[in-house]
Structure 1
Amino acid sequence: MVKIGNIQLPGFPLLLAPMEDVSDPPFRAVCKANGADLLYTEFISSEGLIRDAIKSRQKLDIFDAERPVGIQIFGGDEEAMAMSARIVETVNPDLVDINFGCPVKKVVSKGAGAAVLKDIDLMTRLTKAVVNSTNKPVTVKTRLGWDEQSINIEEVALRLQDCGIQALSIHGRTRAQLYKGTADWRLIAAIKNNPRIHIPIFGNGDIDSPQKALEYKNRYGVDGIMIGRAAIGYPWVFNEIKHYLQTGELLPLPTIQQRVAVIRKHLHKSVEWKGEVLGILEMRRHYTNYLKGYPNIKEYRTKLVTLQSLPAIDEVLQEIERVYANVPALATKPVVNNEYAECCGG
C-alpha cells in the first residue's frame, strides 16, 4: 500500500497525469472506470483563480466518483500560489499538486511550470507557501531539470521533501527536451533509492504498454507510475497494466463494442459538463485514438468530427458498431499532437 498523507493507494498505483485540455471530468471518469487509481485535474493558473477567471474556476469541478483526485496549480508568485491553494481547498480535493514541469512557452515565459527549475530557492518558497496554506497533502510534478547542463532533480527532490510535500512525480525529461527523445528513468530511480527520501516517488514518461510498465517497475523500483499520453483515447491502458502485473498475461484489445461504449460515456459526460455545443466540439479530438487501428475508419471519423447533434453522432456510432462488429483492431499506440496535449505526462 502507498500512502500520500491520509490517502491510501494500492501497492503499485497507476496515476493519471494532469494534462492541459485533456484531463477534464469526462476524461477522468472513463480513466477511473478503467483502472486509474489517482486522478489529477488539468493544471490551473494561480493568477487565473485569483482573478476569478471562468475557465480556471471551471477546472475546479471534481466529483465524488473520481476520488481520490488532486487539483494541480501552477504559478511563479508566492502570494498568488498561497491564495490559490486556499481557494482550491474550498472544493475539498484529496490533495493539491504543484506543477513545476510544464515545458510550454506560454507557461515558462511567465516564470512558472518548468521555468522554476532554474531557481530552486524560488521553487522551495513557492512550495512552502502552498504547504503552509492548506491542510491537504501537497504533491509536486516536475522534470529532471531545465536542460542537460542543469539537471538538478536530486537536489530538488530533497529540498521539496524538506518543504513538506508528501509525494513527488518525476517526468524523465528536461524542459529542453519537451516530449522528444526518450525519457531517462535512471535519475528517477536514483531519487527513489536515496536513503534520505521517504516520500513516494512516481515515475512518468514513455509508459505505453503493460510490458514496459512491468519492465520499468522492476528495473527502477518506483512506487507507482503516472500515465499521460498513452491514456488519451485509450483508457483501457490502466486495467491492461494492472492485469499484466498481476498475471503476466495480456488482456485482449478492447472490442469495437467496448470502444463505442466508452466513446458514448465520454461524449455524454462531456455534453453534461460543458453543454451540447462545446461538449460535442471538444470531444472531436478524441475520436482518432478511440478508433485507431480499424481499416478504412477515416470516413466515419470524418463524420464524427463534423456532426453537431447527439442523435446524429449516435447513428454513426451504431453504424461503426455494425460494420466493425467482427473486425479486430490492430495493436497501435495513440496518436498524440504535443500541442494538443501541451502539459501532459509521458
Structure 2
Amino acid sequence: MDIGPHRIDPPLVLAPMAGVTDRVFRGLCRRLGAGLVVSEMTTADPTLWFTEKSRLRREHDAESAPISVQIAGTDPATMARAAAFNVEQGAQIIDINMGCPAKKVCRVDAGSALMKDEALVERILSAVVAASPVPVTLKIRTGWARSHRNAVKIARIAQDCGIAALTVHGRTREDHYEGAAEYTTVAEVKAAVRIPVIANGDVDSGPKALEILRQTGADGLMIGRAALGHPWIFRELAHFLKTGEVLPQPDRVEVASTLLQHMRELYTLYGESRGVRVARKHIQWYCQSHPGVDAFWASVNRVDDASEQLDRVTAFFEREPEELAEAA
C-alpha cells in the first residue's frame, strides 16, 4: 500500500490512541511488524502547542519513517496552520481526525462530530491539503449515527480534496466501541474511491484480518485495542496474511522482557514519576490474561518507585503459572 511516496509494507497500521501511542509504544509496534504507526491525536489549537503534553506527543526522536501525526480541530485555517507546524516538527504524513467518538472531542464538534457537516469537512480537507507539503490522510467512521451513515459521501469529498488515503472505522459515532464492527460500509467506500482505503475495527487475529480484507477489498488494516498489551499482533497478522499460518503466542519470557523494556523506555521519555504512572496501564494490559493477575495488580498499582515497579513485574513473571493460580 502506498501513501504518497511512502510504501507501507506490511499494510498494517497502529491506530492513534490518546494516552497510548506515544513514541515508546509506536517504536515497539514498528519493531514487531507494523508498517505504519500514527501518533496520539494532537490539538490544532496553537495556544496548546508548547505545553508539556503536546511536546511529548510530538516526540519523534529516532523514530522510523514515515512519521505520521494526527491533528484534530474544527477550524479550517487553524487546522492548516497545525498541519504546516507539524511538518516543520518532522511529520511526513498528516492524518486528520474525524473518527474519534469521545464526548470531550465531539462536544466541541471535532472528531467524528464533523461528519455531520459535510461542507465543513470539505473546507477543512481542502485547507489542510493546500497547506501541507506531505501526504494528508483522513480517519472517519461509517457515519454520525446508525440512521445516517454518510461515509461514502465523505470519502468522495476526501478524494476530490486530495486526501492520499482514508481509514474507515466500521462503527458510527453513536456506536462508540460497542457491538461488532460492520464492514459493508467500508466495502462501499472502497468501491466508491480510487485512493487507498484502510479498514479499522475488531481486527484481532489473522483469520479475522483476512476475512475483513476479503469482505471489504481494503488496501490495509488499522489495529487499535487489539495491540494493547499485545504488540505482537502485528507480526502475527503479517505472518498469517503471508503464509496462512497462526504463530504461537509469545511465551512468558518474551512477554516479561518486552514489558520490562517498555517500562524502562517510558521512564526515560516521561521521567520516573510520570513514567511509573503511565506504565501502570500497560502492566495491566500485558498481564491481564496471566494467572494470578488480580492480586498482582492490586499490589503493583500502589507502587510509586520505578525500581520497585520493575522488581514486582519481574517477580510476577518468574513465578510458575501453577504457583500463581494457587495464590489467586
Q: Give, in whole Å, the separation in 2 of the partners of 1:130 and 1:188.
A: 24
Match of 1:6? 5
Match of 2:150? 152
1:236-285 deviation digits (Å, cap 9, x = unpaired): 11111111112222111111111111111211111111000000111101
What is the count of residue pairs matched by the alignment?
325
Give the Å deviation of 1:328: 12
Moved more, 143-152 or 53-62: 53-62
Match of 1:307? 303
Q: 1:324 to 1:66 in 2, by over 3 A?
A: farther
Match of 2:259? 263
Give the Å deviation of 1:96: 0.3
Give the Å deviation of 1:39: 0.5
SS in 2 for 1:142: strand
Greater per-residue helix proportion: 2
Residue pair 2:67, 2:90 contacting (<8 A) in 1 also: no
Match of 2:215? 219
Q: What is the correspondence of 1:1-346 to structure 2 with a 5 Å cutoff?
A: 2-10=1-9, 12-48=10-46, 52-194=50-192, 197-324=193-320
Give the Å deviation of 1:292: 2.2
Q: Give, in whole Å, the separation in 2 of the partners of 1:155 and 1:131.
A: 18
Moved more, 119-128 or 29-38: 29-38
Give the Å deviation of 1:326: 8.4
Q: Give, in whole Å, the separation in 2 of the partners of 1:65 and 1:106.
A: 30
Write out the 4+ residue segments of structure 1 that deviate beyond 6 Å after TM superposition.
Answer: 325-329
1:275-324 deviation digits (Å, cap 9, x = unpaired): 00000111101112201222222222233322222322222233223213
Give the Å deviation of 1:216: 1.2
1:189-247 deviation digits (Å, cap 9, x = unpaired): 111123xx221100000111111011112222110100000001110111111111122
Q: Give, in whole Å, the separation in 2 of the partners of 1:49 and 1:326.
A: 54
Q: 1:72 to 1:122 in 2, by over 3 A?
A: same
Q: Give, in whole Å, the separation in 2 of the partners of 1:5 and 1:133.
A: 16
Q: Give, in whole Å, the separation in 1 of the partners of 2:30 and 2:300.
A: 25
SS in 2 for 1:66: coil
Q: 1:130 to 1:264 in 2, by over 3 A?
A: same
CA RMSD of aligned residues (A): 1.8
Give the Å deviation of 1:327: 9.0
Which runs of no fewer than 5 residues in structure 1 stay unpaired?
330-346
SS in 1 for 2:309: helix
Give the Å deviation of 1:151: 1.1
SS in 2 for 1:21: coil
Give the Å deviation of 1:55: 1.6
Which runs of no fewer than 5 residues in structure 2 stay unpaired?
none
Residue pair 1:37, 1:68 contacting (<8 A) in 2 also: no
Give the Å deviation of 1:325: 7.0
Q: Give, in whole Å, the separation in 2 of the partners of 1:327 and 1:218.
A: 44
Q: Which amino acid aligns with 1:323?
A: R
Residue pair 1:15, 1:226 contacting (<8 A) in 2 also: yes
Residue pair 2:291, 2:324 contacting (<8 A) in 1 also: no
Q: Give, in whole Å, the separation in 2 of the partners of 1:123 and 1:9.
A: 26
Q: Give, in whole Å, the separation in 2 of the partners of 1:239 and 1:162.
A: 35
Task: Normalising by structure 2, report the TM-score.
Answer: 0.94
Residue pair 2:292, 2:324 contacting (<8 A) in 1 also: no
1:139-171 deviation digits (Å, cap 9, x = unpaired): 000111110222111111011111011000000
Q: Give, in whole Å, the separation in 2 of the partners of 1:327 and 1:236.
A: 26
Residue pair 1:255, 1:328 contacting (<8 A) in 2 also: no
Residue pair 1:131, 1:138 contacting (<8 A) in 2 also: yes
Residue pair 1:257, 1:325 contacting (<8 A) in 2 also: no
Match of 1:342? none
